[in-house]
Structure 1
């Protein structure tokens, strides 16, 4: 596992406040305080600083906070070689081909994070907010990120105390081996009822796992047979995305 690095607590707290906005567009002082586990007076000072620098804005009518324009300024300077930018065109093409929501996930320590998404245009669809942080213990993309990870990283994650105790580790490792053999993973109503997904690995030119490409939608459309039929298209798209990486 990665070594824990020294951090500045005040910066961590300010970032925790900003990360609340990955789960909602507006938050009140009490709500943010509860989410980050800090006293309201501490959160108020953090918000005042962030507001002063333009990172959040306070609505005087509702007394709630939302992200400020400074966030947009930062996002406008995203590097052109950022994978989330590089792969967007291929993701749009895959969405148009399959008609479902396309997501790109990377592993961040014990979680997976959605770094890019292209929403389905169908009336009933899976909504995939960018920046969402999800557990590695469930879901098609989680299986991919574990199955194709370096063995010591994979084993350490599954042996970690945070791994669900009810999950049979030996059986799960066997499932990951099958995923490596077939080149993709599926999930059917694992994380939430009515949802299904199929995911394939994206490797860079050196053969190192970089991300997981996922196609998700309602389980009545993405049945096990449909996911199996669509797997070659997803694997092909993931390979093309890999060629874009240095």
Structure 2
């Protein structure tokens, strides 16, 4: 019996259970860290790259990947001996996507919005501290702004983040800012930001006019369900160079009307004047 086993055996049962719990939680965190190494830009990743990025020994990474391959969550690319995400993830994410009724209700209006504005139309949901894209109709133009499905945003001045936070309590918003979960520019304090999102809630839309990126404009409007709860935001994403103030007003109008159509499809009865 090893010294470490002797030490654990000497522990009270409650402490042994907590140690086992901590070890199990650590393994889960390591698995998640490994999976996060796969991105749209970097779909094939090797053991050495992953080990360096997550701070684990290559043998530990190899064991994690072997288990994930067994479960078809990742698969090996034989020519390169690297790994990519596998089809098993679809089985895991499928029930979640199927339950996103707002995604199904939003698709036809989003498609019409992209055709009408000739800009990218996106649907985002809120996971508690980030805005997540769950549907996207790309602009038909050669120059456009798009993002990968599942992209997450925590920048306070992002149009959808503004709106989602506008429907959180001020206390919750301050907490997210103080913890660093929501990023604000240095010149914008929490109280100023709260005033800004209060205006966004009142007017029924939010705008990011080149504030998070000098190359992009974002316009967002809220989607409500039959209970009147905010369940998603419609976003128009467009290159900054072609969005004049007049065109911006047109995008706002189209975005708000599209969000209202989706809300009606979700059973929302009340529509503001």
TM-score range, shorter chain: 0.7 to 0.9
Deviation per residue, 1:88-118 (Å, 9 max, x gap) = 2221111111111111222223322112211
Report what 1:49 is aligned to: 67
- Higher mean C-alpha displacement, 133-142 vs 42-51: 133-142
Deviation per residue, 1:109-150 (Å, 9 max, x gap) = 332211221111110001211111221423111111111234
Q: Is the contact made by 1:84 and 1:115 (CA closer than 8 Å) also made in structure 2? A: yes
Report what 1:3 is aligned to: none
Question: TM-score, length-normalised on structure 2?
Answer: 0.78
Unaligned runs of 5+ in 2: 1-21, 268-273
Change (3 A) 1:146 1:223: farther
Report what 2:242 is aligned to: 221
Deviation per residue, 1:218-245 (Å, 9 max, x gap) = 0012233312222122111112212333
Change (3 A) 1:43 1:185: same
- Higher mean C-alpha displacement, 79-88 vs 224-233: 79-88
Check if 1:19 corresponds to 2:36: yes
Change (3 A) 1:161 1:55: closer
Change (3 A) 1:199 1:35: farther
Q: How many residues align?
A: 241
- Higher mean C-alpha displacement, 157-166 vs 207-216: 157-166
Separation (CA, whole Å) in 1 of partners of 2:227 and 2:149:
27
Q: Which has the higher helix share?
A: 2
Report what 2:132 is aligned to: 113
Separation (CA, whole Å) in 2 of partners of 1:89 and 1:161:
36
Separation (CA, whole Å) in 2 of partners of 1:228 and 1:9:
49
- Cα RMSD between the aligned structures? 2.4
Larger CA Rg, structure 1 vs 2: 2
User: What secondary structure is seen at the aligned counterpart in 2 of 1:114?
Assistant: strand
User: What secondary structure is seen at the aligned counterpart in 2 of 1:220?
Assistant: helix
Report what 1:33 is aligned to: 51
Deviation of 1:184 after TM superposition, in Å, equals 0.6
Check if 1:175 corresponds to 2:196: yes
Unaligned runs of 5+ in 1: 1-5
4+ runs of 1 displaced by more than 6 Å?
none
Report what 2:5 is aligned to: none
Question: TM-score, length-normalised on structure 1?
Answer: 0.86
